[in-house]
Chain A
Amino acid sequence: MIEQLILALPMAIVVIGAFVLMLLSKSTRFNLDKLNLLAVLFLAIAFIMQYFTLGNHTIAFLFPDVFGESFILDDFSTIFDMMFTGGAILTLLVNNDYIKSRQYYSTEYFTLILFSVFGMIMLSHAHELVTAFIALEIASLSIYALAGYHKNNKVSSEAMMKYMVLGSMSSAFFMLGTALIYGVVGSTSLTEIALYTSSHTIDEMTLLIVGASFIMVTIMFKIGAVPFHSWVVDVYHGAPYPVTMFMASTFKIAIFAIALRLYLVNFAPINSFWTEMLQVITILTLLGGSWLAISQKLVKRMLAGSSIVHSGYLLIALSSIGLGSELAAPAIMFYLLAYFLSAVGSFGILSFISVHSKKQMSYEDFKGFAERRPYMALMMSIFMFSLAGFPSTIGFLGKFYIFSAAIESGQILLAGLGIMTAFISVYYYFKLIAMMYFYPSQTPQKKLTINVSTVLIAVMALLVIWGGIGTSLIPFIPGADGFIDIAKQAMSSLK
């Protein structure tokens, strides 16, 4: 019992933290700063505990006598947990100044973040479809509320409405899929489903495939794959910067946690059914996302559009899994890590800039940025390089693995299309660099403020570079190899 408690502690700490913050939020003694610190503290403890549970190589169920096999604990979920808590910590710390600079931030913000992290953690541990649904809804509902956090702003409210209505509808598909699968298998436990899929032929499982496809619809919606993408750009634009950052980097990863678990283990025998569908969606996502990203004037919207393209790359790897590629699963993990670092960094810089200005941050506003803030411009360039997949950054290796996996699985044309969209992405990412560096500044150089945000962004930038060129020759410091080793470790714990 005690062992079980220890294993469940990281998850519990987050939810306890959420409740504690909720209770404290009305107290006058705690201002935003203190609450932020407290939230980070809870998350940090959870992060450290997750770190120590990593590498046990044991697969255990949490409280099996109470929950049955609802919650699984393996390296796969732990690594995802670390990304969620890490992402939340970064979101909170980097945006500390931003939160204080806006009047509309109140104390519930931290509670909501912690609840959504709890939902995500639950999602990565979920080993049962209804649990997964509840976890997804916990995470999503918090994010809906966060997206509309700027109540008096029309764009923000519109974002929330759009996201909530469409998101709830897509969640309904998840429920419907679950019901159908329950009708076939007689259970919603993933263990039972895996048993059923591996012991029947595809012809006997028509209803199950329909159900699983409905679940896929929800997943596609949440990662913003075309044609379920219509919300992405508007919601990312409407939400406040910290929330956009949290959605783009952390929440997207959470969806892949459940997608990978379902796709790799439980639906593995029926993967081949989706291959063509996935390929079509991938092509649409890559092209549609590129189109959206090119046509934007605001940097935030461009990043939103490009996040669709990044989902497209991940989908390439997902369909490679179905075609039996060995590399694809670790490639997805690695790519998520790479995208996480670069997205957190770039959105962090955007929110850092908007602390002092209320502008919308269009490309034009970045003119002369390199003269005003040379270091920030350098780091922004590094993140852009990484997002564009420029070599010597972690983003390049991410694309390298994804495209290798695609070639390995025989999807040569898809790999070619991926490389083509990577080429297109060079345009909209480098346009920002061109804006920053190639135009003179109207205002003089500003002094570099060294605070938590800037230091963390600098650390992210270093990680992005180190993840791309880091050698494993230096003892005790994992290089670029270390990241993919982690990804492989996570994947091996799944099977």
Chain B
Amino acid sequence: MMQHILTFIIFIPLFTAIVLGIMRASTKSLKIGAMFSSVITLFLVAVVAYNFNPDIGMQFTKNLPWIQNAGISYIIGVDYLSLVILLLIGLLMPPLYIYMYHEERKGYWYNMMLLQTGVTGAVLSLDLVLFYLFWETMLLPIFVMIGKYGNGMHQYNSMKILLMTILGSMSMLFSILYIGYIYFETTGMWSFALSDLAIIAFEPKTSIWLAAGFLLAFAIKIPLVGFHTWMAPAYGSAPTPAVVILSAIMAKLGIYGIWRFGYGLFESTLSYYAPTIIVLALIGLIYYAIRAITENNLRKMFAYSSGSHLSLIALGLFLTNIYAWSGSLYFIATHALASAGMFLMIGLTYKRFNTVHISDLGGIASKAPIFTFFFAFFALSIAGLPGTGGFVAELLIIIGAFKADFWIGVLTATTMLSAMMYIFWMLQRTLFGAANKECQYSDLTLREITILLPLVVLLLVTGIVPSLFIPLFEPQLTTTLQDVLFVIGGLK
């Protein structure tokens, strides 16, 4: 059981979806099935986390031959990095299903289950082709959900996100194939296993464009500034559950990809790209924040806010020091929680007011205090309110930035300031003042509070006692960082 546990975590949602699909299940049994699968997965994730040993690297690994002629194997495993995202996926799915409780369209549920398999698989796979498979698979449900259930110019926007993301993945595929070929040339065998490929020493020139293939895919997914044109339209059009997954999980997978495959395969080459990406991330940090200030659509505003914070995470990653790295990893988790909460709140806002435009909202605080509390809490935790996890993470990254360079530090620190700016202004216009449109609405129901409360608790716990979580990933994070620094240092 224990050695197959990750396989179960990946495939239980897909399996449930297939079984329900073949049975032509009614919407009700579909809801129960989806819920059930997400709870079981959460339980299994909890088992993995409980048995996780922070002092060793890859654990729960499973290595099976898959397509032997091409050297593709089914290799999965979990380490500190994937555990964080795995926990997030496990934790977010049940609340999302509760949120979707009244959703009667069947396709929605099937897509969510397929999506869970896709993102989980991408996080856990350690074979490049397997990773590519899941990386593409997770795009499909998003494509369908935006295109079919979205709003606005959803058909156009879904095609846009599909094409831009696939452009990235195609370039990644090219690099993957070439790396496989280099391995074949040196050893006489085909293999795409990360552990096999990590030992190859690439020629500097080759490795620069190989890394570019990967970085393009990840930069589009994050998205770094310049690769971001899909972001605001897609976030604006996507239905709430899809947006939550997009910002909380899939954007993080871009960071994860750089962390796992970028630093796993070409440490030294990434230091060649580091200045470029740091500059892009700094520009993104500020540019997205400005866009967020001026944005009137709440979904798009938080899309830009999410872009800004992901640029911060990417920045932390490329600064390669222990503060920035711990901060980045911590921010992956806390930002996912906060943005999931925020986008859920925006979804609830839409349910009540039928709009997500700030100019149409206002005066909520006097009528719906509980709603106001949750809305403000998530918004502020995105801004990095002290006492929430985001604050700890941002602080760590900023410290790391100052350690790297004074001016980078200064620019990084502006993120807190600008976030406060757009968040407070937005809160003032949406929650307080007079209502811009009169309509009848109720405060949060008990079901809605149950969705949001776990997120609030987690954000507070991560903010107040970070020492609970840091030991989970610190030992291995330090080792990995030292390895990376050793390789980079060895070059200089």
Chain A min CB distance to B247 (Å)? 22
Instruction: Indicate whether B177 reaches chain A with its CB closer than 8 angstroms.
Output: yes
A427 to B155, CA, bound (A): 13
Pick out which of these stretches binds chain B: A246-254, A336-344, A403-411.
A403-411
Q: Which of A477-492 contact B (CB under 8 A)?
A: 479-481, 484-485, 488
A456 to B212, CA, bound (A): 44
Chain B min CB distance to A439 (Å)? 8
How many residues from A make CB contacts under 8 Å with B?
A: 35
- Inter-chain contacts of A360 with B (CB < 8 A): none
Kindly report which residue of chain A lies nearest to residue B166, judged by CB atoms: A426
A397 to B69, CA, bound (A): 11
A434 to B160, CA, bound (A): 12
**1/0 contact string of A387-407 vs chain B (CB within 8 Å):** 000111000010011011001
Pick out which of these stretches binds chain B: A38-46, A263-271, A288-296, A417-425.
A417-425
Kindly report which residue of chain B lies nearest to residue A401, judged by CB atoms: B70
Q: Using known A-B contacts A400-B70, A401-B70, A404-B180, determine if residue A434 contacts B158 with beta carbons closer than 8 Å.
A: yes
Instruction: Indicate whether B406 reaches chain A with its CB closer than 8 angstroms.
Output: no
Q: Which of B142-162 contact A (CB under 8 A)?
A: 143-144, 147-148, 154-155, 158-159, 162
Q: Using known A-B contacts A404-B181, A479-B67, determine if residue A390 contacts B136 with beta carbons closer than 8 Å.
A: yes
Instruction: Indicate whether A58 reaches chain B with its CB closer than 8 angstroms.
Output: no
Tell me if A431 and B159 are in contact (CB < 8 A).
Answer: yes
In the complex, which of the residues B67, B162, B163, B190 contacts A481, with contact meaning CB atoms closer than 8 Å? B67
Tell me if A397 and B67 are in contact (CB < 8 A).
Answer: yes
- Inter-chain contacts of B166 with A (CB < 8 A): 423, 426
A404 to B191, CA, bound (A): 12
Chain A min CB distance to B202 (Å)? 14
Instruction: Indicate whether B449 reaches chain A with its CB closer than 8 angstroms.
Output: no
Tell me if B174 and A419 are in contact (CB < 8 A).
Answer: yes
- Inter-chain contacts of B158 with A (CB < 8 A): 434, 438
Q: Using known A-B contacts A426-B166, A438-B147, determine if residue A403 contacts B136 with beta carbons closer than 8 Å.
A: no
- Inter-chain contacts of B167 with A (CB < 8 A): 423
- Inter-chain contacts of B173 with A (CB < 8 A): 403, 419
Instruction: Indicate whether B43 reaches chain A with its CB closer than 8 angstroms.
Output: no
Instruction: Indicate whether A430 reaches chain B with its CB closer than 8 angstroms.
Output: yes
- Inter-chain contacts of A430 with B (CB < 8 A): 143, 159, 162
Q: Using known A-B contacts A392-B133, A408-B184, determine if residue A434 contacts B68 with beta carbons closer than 8 Å.
A: no
Instruction: Indicate whether B279 reaches chain A with its CB closer than 8 angstroms.
Output: no
Kindly report which residue of chain B lies nearest to residue A437, judged by CB atoms: B148
Instruction: Indicate whether A416 reaches chain B with its CB closer than 8 angstroms.
Output: yes
Chain A min CB distance to B97 (Å)? 22
Q: Using known A-B contacts A391-B137, A415-B174, determine if residue A438 contacts B70 with beta carbons closer than 8 Å.
A: no
Q: Is the interface of A mostly helix, strand, loop or mixed?
A: helix
Tell me if B136 and A438 are in contact (CB < 8 A).
Answer: no
A390 to B173, CA, bound (A): 11
Tell me if B155 and A438 are in contact (CB < 8 A).
Answer: yes
Interface centre among B70, B167, B177 (most CB of A within 10 A): B177
A434 to B153, CA, bound (A): 13
A471 to B130, CA, bound (A): 13
Instruction: Indicate whether B66 reaches chain A with its CB closer than 8 angstroms.
Output: yes
Instruction: Indicate whether B487 reaches chain A with its CB closer than 8 angstroms.
Output: no
Instruction: Indicate whether B377 reaches chain A with its CB closer than 8 angstroms.
Output: no
Tell me if B133 and A434 are in contact (CB < 8 A).
Answer: no
Chain B min CB distance to A429 (Å)? 11
Q: Which of A48-85 contact B (CB under 8 A)?
A: none
Tell me if B148 and A407 are in contact (CB < 8 A).
Answer: no
Instruction: Indicate whether A472 reaches chain B with its CB closer than 8 angstroms.
Output: yes
- Inter-chain contacts of A420 with B (CB < 8 A): 170
Q: Using known A-B contacts A391-B136, A404-B70, A426-B163, determine if residue A434 contacts B147 with beta carbons closer than 8 Å.
A: yes
Tell me if B154 and A391 are in contact (CB < 8 A).
Answer: no
- Inter-chain contacts of A473 with B (CB < 8 A): 64-65
Instruction: Indicate whether B132 reaches chain A with its CB closer than 8 angstroms.
Output: yes
Tell me if A484 and B69 are in contact (CB < 8 A).
Answer: yes
- Inter-chain contacts of B65 with A (CB < 8 A): 472-473
Instruction: Indicate whether B486 reaches chain A with its CB closer than 8 angstroms.
Output: no
Instruction: Indicate whether A280 reaches chain B with its CB closer than 8 angstroms.
Output: no
B interface bracket (residues with beta carbon within 8 Å of A): 35 or more
- Inter-chain contacts of B171 with A (CB < 8 A): 419
In the complex, which of the residues A392, A416, A469, A479 contacts B174, with contact meaning CB atoms closer than 8 Å? A416
Kindly report which residue of chain B lies nearest to residue A400, judged by CB atoms: B70
- Inter-chain contacts of B159 with A (CB < 8 A): 427, 430-431, 434
Tell me if B154 and A438 are in contact (CB < 8 A).
Answer: yes
- Inter-chain contacts of A481 with B (CB < 8 A): 67-69
- Inter-chain contacts of B273 with A (CB < 8 A): none
Instruction: Indicate whether B178 reaches chain A with its CB closer than 8 angstroms.
Output: yes
- Inter-chain contacts of A462 with B (CB < 8 A): none
**1/0 contact string of A434-447 vs chain B (CB within 8 Å):** 10011100000000
- Inter-chain contacts of B136 with A (CB < 8 A): 390-392
Instruction: Indicate whether A494 reaches chain B with its CB closer than 8 angstroms.
Output: no
In the complex, which of the residues B129, B148, B163, B180 contacts A438, with contact meaning CB atoms closer than 8 Å? B148
Chain A min CB distance to B167 (Å)? 6
Kindly report which residue of chain A lies nearest to residue B190, judged by CB atoms: A404
Chain A min CB distance to B236 (Å)? 16
A420 to B155, CA, bound (A): 23
Instruction: Indicate whether A412 reaches chain B with its CB closer than 8 angstroms.
Output: yes
Q: Which of B171-193 contact A (CB under 8 A)?
A: 171, 173-174, 177-178, 180-181, 184, 190
Interface centre among B69, B178, B180 (most CB of A within 10 A): B69
In the complex, which of the residues A408, A422, A434 contacts B181, with contact meaning CB atoms closer than 8 Å? A408
Q: Using known A-B contacts A400-B70, A401-B70, A438-B148, determine if residue A391 contacts B132 with beta carbons closer than 8 Å.
A: yes
A140 to B363, CA, bound (A): 77
- Inter-chain contacts of A423 with B (CB < 8 A): 163, 166-167, 170
Q: Which of B91-147 contact A (CB under 8 A)?
A: 129, 132-133, 136-137, 143-144, 147
Chain B min CB distance to A56 (Å)? 23
Chain B min CB distance to A41 (Å)? 32
A434 to B144, CA, bound (A): 8
Chain A min CB distance to B144 (Å)? 6
Chain B min CB distance to A126 (Å)? 30
- Inter-chain contacts of A397 with B (CB < 8 A): 67, 70
Chain B min CB distance to A479 (Å)? 7
Tell me if B148 and A422 are in contact (CB < 8 A).
Answer: no
Q: Using known A-B contacts A404-B180, A407-B177, determine if residue A437 contacts B68 with beta carbons closer than 8 Å.
A: no
- Inter-chain contacts of B177 with A (CB < 8 A): 400, 403-404, 407, 415
Q: Which of B302-337 contact A (CB under 8 A)?
A: none
Chain A min CB distance to B436 (Å)? 32
Q: Using known A-B contacts A404-B181, A434-B155, A438-B154, determine if residue A422 contacts B170 with beta carbons closer than 8 Å.
A: yes
- Inter-chain contacts of A415 with B (CB < 8 A): 174, 177
- Inter-chain contacts of B64 with A (CB < 8 A): 471, 473
- Inter-chain contacts of B174 with A (CB < 8 A): 403, 415-416, 419
Chain B min CB distance to A419 (Å)? 5
Tell me if B162 and A472 are in contact (CB < 8 A).
Answer: no
Tell me if B181 and A407 are in contact (CB < 8 A).
Answer: yes
Chain B min CB distance to A489 (Å)? 12
Chain B min CB distance to A480 (Å)? 5
Q: Which of B62-78 contact A (CB under 8 A)?
A: 64-70, 74
- Inter-chain contacts of A403 with B (CB < 8 A): 173-174, 177
Chain A min CB distance to B451 (Å)? 28
Some 6 contacts from A to B, beta carbons below 8 A apart, are A403-B174, A404-B177, A419-B170, A426-B162, A472-B68, A488-B69
The chain B residues found within 8 Å of chain A, CB to CB, are: 64-70, 74, 129, 132-133, 136-137, 143-144, 147-148, 154-155, 158-159, 162-163, 166-167, 170-171, 173-174, 177-178, 180-181, 184, 190
With A404-B180, A431-B159 given, name 19 new contacts (CB 8 A): A390-B136, A391-B133, A397-B67, A403-B177, A404-B70, A408-B181, A412-B178, A415-B177, A422-B170, A426-B162, A426-B166, A430-B143, A434-B159, A469-B133, A479-B67, A481-B67, A481-B69, A484-B70, A485-B69
Top-10 shortest CB links A-B? A438-B147, A391-B133, A423-B170, A484-B69, A438-B155, A407-B181, A480-B67, A391-B136, A419-B174, A419-B170
